[in-house]
Amino acid sequence: MNLKLLLAEDDDDLRQTLVEALEMEGFDVYACVDAEEAIEAAENDRFDLALLDMIMPGATGIEAISNIVRSQPNIGIVISTAFGTVATAVDAMKKGAHEFISKPFDLESLVMTLKRVHAQRTTPPSLAGEKADKVFAALANPIRRQTLLKLMVHKRLRFMDLCRLVEVDNHTRFNFHIRQLKQASLVEQSESKVYFLTTEGKKLCASLFSEQN
Amino acid sequence: MNLKLLLAEDDDDLRQTLVEALEMEGFDVYACVDAEEAIEAAENDRFDLALLDMIMPGATGIEAISNIVRSQPNIGIVISTAFGTVATAVDAMKKGAHEFISKPFDLESLVMTLKRVHAQRTTPPSLAGEKADKVFAALANPIRRQTLLKLMVHKRLRFMDLCRLVEVDNHTRFNFHIRQLKQASLVEQSESKVYFLTTEGKKLCASLFSEQN
DNA sequence: TATAGCTGTCAATTTTTCTTATCATAATGG
DNA sequence: CCATTATGATAAGAAAAATTGACAGCTATA
């Protein structure tokens, strides 16, 4: 199964060379002469990876990132550049790029970089597993979400403190809900009975917050 | 309400200057002489921001990022450096840094950078809103999650095609579930009745996938 | 025209989730 | 020691979610 690569490179010779070489390496390459063409392609087709030249006439590779990521949030993006600065690198990463590669580059490095970026981006979907069932069922309830929120802020809390923070006046009601969070492995207790988020709980909560950006 | 800043800077004079100046700007500064101390502080206390010098004896600011982010996934991280390269910038961003600032810097720039990073990282918690209720309720069901997954892969699908992909043999059962996704604004239909993910649906799904990294 | 397939609505029924009451044990303070 | 508070388990009943069946309108094809 070939990886689909969206290539944007204004230098004709280099673009042709890359197409031929990368297709020999097993990529399905869709080549664009500029960023605008790449943006349009990303809206109409699905790609695993994008290799964008930073400096192109018209919109730059960096300017194209946001648009491409908007169309395809899971695409892996590599920026190629001869003149990289820290500021442009940071800007590109913030927009969604995953890796930089400096011109001139050898083909072997490029292929390895592309495959590594793809491997890192490809995540096995576990949305249907039994574990995911418990986690998502736990998240469906507002009391439980509030509980996670309070634990994010305060890190360690005792049962009744937490119950009062969440504003549930019936402790057995709260007990039922925090048991669901424990069974979903989002929350656990120390020996002294203090509640805190598990590592998985922290990651999930951070993701749900940062998702609001 | 002051922002809590974790500062790691091995240069004594600069560190003292920064502490005094930043506290005058309204930050609560916890100063560390090295990365190890900063890592430990992040495990024991909550911070809004971290300002880490890139080059320090022992572990570098960059090496500390992963540990700090693991303890506090929502912290805003700024790296200060006199010698930045594209490679180190990209590496730091991948580990979780949000911004670079080059030495020598003026205090005004630093403060603006810190506040901007914090403003971008602070997200209004909407885990308890009515809209969130619908979204999370929709995600609680395995059929609905599978539906989102299929739409991520195929982008546009007709009702019966989607129903068969999700392997639900009773179409009215599937209809009930896809209605819930529509009501949660995760999925919508074109005029030709084709189903596709909304922007919000795409972002949420991408977050849930990338969360598995 | 008749038939098959697609897509959708509505409501009765079933299943799952949540609330509440009761009870229990442990810990703390006067 | 006693009273109070904290924390937790269990089960019945209430509420919410999901399933299922009946029906409908639309489109395409023979």
Residue-wise pLDDT for B116-169, tens only, equals 888 776 554 444 456 788 899 999 999 999 999 888 888 888 999 999 989 898
The number of beta carbons lying within 10 Å of the beta carbon of residue A50 is: 31
Measure, in angstroms, how far nucleotide C14 C1' is from residue B205 CA: 31
Asked whether A155 and A194 are in contact (CB, 8 A), the reply is no
Chain C nucleotides near the protein (CB, 7 A): 5-11, 17-23
The tokens describing B143, both together, are 């059929």
CA distances from B58 to A5, A78, B64, B90, B186 (A): 41, 31, 10, 21, 48
Asked whether B132 and B154 are in contact (CB, 8 A), the reply is no
Q: Give B100's contacts in chain A (Cβ within 8 Å).
A: 86-87, 90
Rounded distance between C-alpha atoms, residue B155 and residue B57, angstroms: 50
Rounded distance between C-alpha atoms, residue A37 and residue B105, angstroms: 39
Residue B211 predicted with pLDDT over 60: no
Rounded distance between C-alpha atoms, residue A57 and residue B97, angstroms: 30
Please provide the DSSP assignment of A60-107 as one string. Answer: -HHHHHHHHHHH-TT-EEEEEESS--HHHHHHHHHHT--EEEESS--H
Give me the tens of pLDDT residue by residue for chain A, a chain 213 residues long. 788 999 999 889 999 999 999 999 999 999 999 888 998 888 878 888 999 998 887 777 888 888 888 777 678 899 998 877 888 888 888 888 888 888 888 888 899 899 888 877 655 444 445 678 889 999 999 999 999 988 888 888 889 999 998 989 899 999 999 999 999 999 999 888 889 998 888 878 877 754 333
Domains parsed from chain B with CATH numbers: 4-121 (3.40.50.2300), 130-210 (1.10.10.10)
The answer to whether the Cβ–Cβ distance between A211 and B203 falls below 8 Å is yes
Rounded distance between C-alpha atoms, residue A201 and residue A210, angstroms: 14
Rounded distance between C-alpha atoms, residue B181 and residue B185, angstroms: 6
Please tell me which of the candidates B90, B128, B133 has its beta carbon nearest to residue A100: B90
Burial class (CB in 10 A: 0-12, 13-18, 19+), A163: buried
- Encode pLDDT of B94-110 as tens digits: 888 888 888 888 888 89
Decide: CB of A100 under 7 A of nucleic strand D: no
Q: What is the pLDDT of residue A132?
A: 84
Q: Give A211's contacts in chain B (Cβ within 8 Å).
A: 203-204, 207
- Encode pLDDT of B84-93 as tens digits: 788 888 888 8
The tokens describing B151, both together, are 């739409």
Decide: CB of B173 under 7 A of nucleic strand D: yes
Please tell me which of the candidates A74, A90, A140 has its beta carbon nearest to residue B206: A74
Q: What is the pLDDT of residue A124?
A: 43
The tokens describing A12, both together, are 């004709």
Asked whether A64 and A38 are in contact (CB, 8 A), the reply is yes
Rounded distance between C-alpha atoms, residue A187 and residue A156, angstroms: 10
Rounded distance between C-alpha atoms, residue B12 and residue B7, angstroms: 12
Q: What is the pLDDT of residue B156?
A: 85
The answer to whether the Cβ–Cβ distance between B74 and A208 falls below 8 Å is no
B147-B150-B156 Cα angle (round to 5): 100
Q: Give A121's contacts in chain B (Cβ within 8 Å).
A: 210
- Encode pLDDT of B178-189 as tens digits: 999 999 999 999
Share of chain B above pLDDT 90, in %: 36
Could you give the maximum distance between any two Cα atoms of chain A, in Å?
72
Asked whether A34 and B164 are in contact (CB, 8 A), the reply is no
B206 three-state secondary structure: helix
Rounded distance between C-alpha atoms, residue B28 and residue B10, angstroms: 19
What one-letter code names the amino acid at B86?
V
Q: What is the pLDDT of residue B92?
A: 87
Nearest-CA neighbor of A164 among A143, A182, A145? Answer: A143
The residue with greater pLDDT, B211 or A36, is A36
